[in-house]
Amino acid sequence: MKTVETTRSARRTPRLIAAGLVVMMVLCVIPASALTVLPPKECFVEVANEYGPLYDLDGAAYGAGNNGTYYMKFGGSGLNALHITTNTGSPNGQVTNSTSATGTFYVSDTGGRGYDDDIILMFATNASLNNDFSIEITASGHQWEATGLEPTSYDYQAGALQETFWRGDFAYGPQIYKPSSVSNYPIFYGQDMADTDNTFQLMFVDLNVGVLGLNSTLPSGGMAQVDYQIGNFTGFGAFNAYAWCLDSNQGQGISWTNAVSGAGSSGYTVNIA
């Protein structure tokens, strides 16, 4: 079987700017060059990766053509399976508030499907960014060719993503919520949603790895590992995770994110003085 690494170039296309699409439902394609508010769901988002998304398939599936985006579908709940954790022995995750500009966390899935084909990271901040702001993301985990079935052959890739992102890579906002199945859903645990002046700008990063559920025989328990290093930054930021599948009981696209409200919440924030 070809690995994702050897077939990636065949699936990647340059990111194209498109907007105002209406195809059987209200769809949106937001250009990365503009800071634009995202709706809660049913919209296309661009990732900040230099080479675009690992799987450029959603645009064609939803009538928009190959547009270099992922589709935030969220046709169901999508808040129970995906988690952020600092410990591979705690797959249900926890809420972590860090004061460090460097750190490591993992993305896990405890749902019944048992896998996610690809993980997309969201970083959000309400800080005023310096021109020399940077965030370096290194992701490690398992890769396979998405087929719509649970993978039986996969490869572990250390450093599947190693890329630095900049102030200009924030494409979305200002807004107080993150895309999910619930309207006006918080970006971080404990957020005061009545404070509509506390707005955030958002960046999405394709980690180029999937998650293989509760398979403890695999490195990192089948989780995706994220190492970050933030430079020239003072203020607050929040990480969230999203999962994409080629085929599932919710269809193709992104339909899962970590819960940050109520029981089962998990997340990772930084507050750097």
Domain range annotation of the chain: 76-272
Query: DSSP 3-state assignment of 185?
Result: coil
Distance of CA 77 to the CA centre of its chain: 17
Query: DSSP 3-state assignment of 69?
Result: coil
- Which region among 27-36, 157-166, 216-225, 236-245 has the lowest average model confidence (pLDDT)? 27-36
Q: pLDDT digits over 81-103, tens only?
A: 999 999 999 999 999 999 999 99
**Confidence (pLDDT) at 111:** 94
**Would residue 147 be called left, alpha or beta, if left means φ above 0 and alpha means ψ between -120 and 50 degrees?**
alpha
**Confidence (pLDDT) at 32:** 41
Residue with tokens 């958002």: 202
**Residue 263: DSSP 8-state:** T
User: Are 44 and 72 contacting, i.e. CB atoms less than 8 angstroms apart?
Assistant: yes
pLDDT confidence band for 123 (50 / 70 / 90): very high
**Confidence (pLDDT) at 34:** 65
User: Are 204 and 36 contacting, i.e. CB atoms less than 8 angstroms apart?
Assistant: no
End-to-end CA distance of the chain: 48
Predicted confidence (pLDDT) at residue 10 exceeds the cutoff of 80: no
**Confidence (pLDDT) at 1:** 38
**Confidence (pLDDT) at 215:** 74
